[in-house]
Amino acid sequence: MNAAEPILAPLLNISNVSVAYANHTVVKDVSIDIKQGEIGCLLGPSGCGKSTLLRAIAGFEPLSQGSISLLGKSLSNKDFTTAPEQRNIGMVFQDIALFPHLNVAQNIAFGIQHLTKTEQRARVKQLLDLIELSHYATLYPHQISGGQQQRIALARALAPKPKLLLLDEPFSGLDAKLRETLVPQVKAILKAEHVSALIVSHDQGEAFAIADKIAIMENGKIHQWDSAFNSYHIPATKFVASFIGDSRFLPGIVSCEHCIDTQLGRLKNPFPHGFKEGSTVDVLVRLENIITQADSAHFGKVVKKNFHGSYYKYELSLADNSTILYSTNAKDTAEHQLGENIPLKFCSESLVIFAR
């Protein structure tokens, strides 16, 4: 290995990793790289294998195939697993898991016992300042709130300056309001510590708010490993398209190399979409793609209606019984009634199309 390579090499390399419990493969042939300073997110529905993958990276699960390496040093493969305590990878758990018999400062100092007392104190103080809990050093875990506990768990994991920090659904035990303030706070803390992180979440908003790159997982496989923007606008698979954002699929037939005929008329792509003429496809229709247009020849009938405070969300049924979503600003626009037919127009710069 020459001197230039380590800089180019990713921090964490996961290649062709599978994890199996007693004949049941939970993670299937997964490969991703995480760069220095990057915050990644494993996003997917529960049971998709994201937590298992995270535990495998931490060293709690052996691999049945593939390898995991950190800074070029192999940590796990089919035949061996470096013990978690020897990996220099920190982890924050869903159930927080602070040590109940130690106070806040002792909890944070737990992983830096090899330092001198002075160094430990300095590091604990620095972290307590960072998480804005300087006055809580001598309190015990049961004396502080859930959000504070989670920040302390984060500080505890950051204390030994791990090369990589893993966070397993760190916000799922907290209420929505608290989550909203805590997520950006955690992101700021991670960036301030210049730590690379991989976070597991089932919540799209959380993932978008915190991660530089998102791996969308389903049934043990990664569908897309990309930025939030790309996952939203250029979904790699139908699953990604439906999992991210509010959307429906509109059936259509390819009528030319740019256009597709649907219940909302002929939709046009600015560049060739690459599907064969006459083939049947699904066009992704997001909530924001649908607007009303008084002179439109295409109508949607309101079949469901939900009030969301600042807006109404409607489910509209088209002539072929396919459905699309539509929303109106609750303040400016008149409320539609169930059964009402609304004239519609599809508007988007480019189309997201999948073969049926």
Partner 1 sequence: MNAILNRYKRIHWLSGIALIIALVLSLPILVVTSSLFGGFGPTLAHLIDTVLSDYVINSLLLLLGVSVGVLLIGVPTAWLTSVCEFKGKTLFTWALLLPLAVPAYIVAYTYTGILDYAGPVQNTIRELSGLNYGEYYFFEVRSLGGAITMLTLVLYPYVYLLARAAFLEQSSNVLEVCRTLGYSRKQAFWRLSLPMARPAIIAGLTLALMETLADFGTVQYFGISTFTTGIYRTFYGLGDPTAASQLASILLTFVAFLIILERYSRRQHRYHSSSEQRPASALIQLSKKQSCWAWIVCLIPICFGFLIPASVLSYWSITQASFDGQQFIGLAWNSLYLAFSAAIVAVLLSLLLVYAKRIKSTALVVSANTVVGLGYALPGTIIAIGIIIPLAWLDHRIIEFVDHYFKIDVGLVLSGSLFALLFAYTVRFLAVSMGAVQTGFDKIKPNIDNSARSLGHTNLQVIGKIHFPLMRGSMLTALLIVFVDVLKELPATLILRPFNFNTLAVHAYELASDERLIDAAPASIMIVAVGLLPVILLSRSISNSRAQKAL
- Residues in touch with partner 1 (CB under 8 A): 58-60, 80-91, 93-95, 97, 99-101, 110-111, 114, 153, 156-157, 159-160, 166
For partner 1, which is the closer residue by CB, 146 or 184? Answer: 146
For partner 1, which is the closer residue by CB, 23 or 86? Answer: 86
User: Taking the complex as a whole, how short is the minimal distance between the CB of residue 59 and partner 1, in angstroms?
Assistant: 8
User: Taking the complex as a whole, how short is the minimal distance between the CB of residue 58 and partner 1, in angstroms?
Assistant: 6
User: Taking the complex as a whole, how short is the minimal distance between the CB of residue 130 and partner 1, in angstroms?
Assistant: 18
- Kindly report the three-state secondary structure assignment for every residue of 20-89: EECCEEEEEEEEEEECCCCEEEEECCCCCCHHHHHHHHHCCCCCCEEEEEECCEEEEECCCECCHHHCCE
User: Taking the complex as a whole, how short is the minimal distance between the CB of residue 216 and partner 1, in angstroms?
Assistant: 25
* CA dihedral angle for residue 225, residue 226, residue 231, residue 234, rounded to 10 degrees: -110
For partner 1, which is the closer residue by CB, 41 or 91? Answer: 91
Say if residue 251 is exposed, middle or buried (CB neighbours under 10 Å; 0-12, 13-18, 19+): middle
- Residue 70 makes CB contacts below 8 A (sequence gap 6+) with 11, 12, 13, 87, 88, 89, 163, 164
Q: Please name which of 233, 234, 236 lies closest in space to residue 217, comparing C-alpha atoms.
A: 236
For partner 1, which is the closer residue by CB, 59 or 252? Answer: 59
- For the chain, what's the residue count? 356
User: Taking the complex as a whole, how short is the minimal distance between the CB of residue 170 and partner 1, in angstroms?
Assistant: 12
For partner 1, which is the closer residue by CB, 77 or 242? Answer: 77
d(CA 264, CA 344): 7
User: Taking the complex as a whole, how short is the minimal distance between the CB of residue 98 and partner 1, in angstroms?
Assistant: 8
For partner 1, which is the closer residue by CB, 102 or 178? Answer: 102
